[in-house]
Amino acid sequence: MAWPVLALILASVTISAVAQVALKHGMSSSAVQEAVAAGGIRVANSVARNLFIWFGLALYGLGAVLWLGVLAKVDVGQAYPFVGLGFLLTMTFGIVFLGEGLNVTRLIGTGLVVAGVILVARSA
């Protein structure tokens, strides 16, 4: 796989992981949590006014556009395993930016996903 394609894949996966953290941050805000507890239309209004949620959605859109560029250049079977790296990045970003915990089971599971990505990528 050529370096420019690999860079495009890694950019897409990284942007999607950052999007996930932005969405979680937005949904964890006190305004959204209060609206979720109250239910009804307040939830939609609160979510629609949260800038982190909009930022996360915009990043997902950008990640999708980059992914289209990847799919135009390589087989989906060769590219898609790299999406598994998103598990590692999202876990790492959650720990660093959201203060989420880490336990042995989660670490082993994520390690298995990464090992699978490596195996599939090397088999192509």
Read off the pLDDT of residues 83-113 as tens digits, 9 standing for 90 and up. Answer: 888 888 999 999 999 999 999 998 898 889 8
Q: Which helix (DSSP H) or strand (DSSP E) does residue 46 occupy?
A: helix 41-48
Q: What is the pTM of this model?
A: 0.87
Which is more confidently placed, 18 or 110? 18
Residue ranges per structural domain of the chain: 3-123
CB atoms within 10 A of CB 75: 9
CA distance 85 to 88: 5
Average pLDDT over residues 40-65: 96
Token pair in block for residue 111: 């390690």
- pLDDT recorded at residue 111: 86
Give the integer Cα–Cα distance in Å for 8 and 10.
Answer: 6
CB 60 within 8 A of CB 19: yes
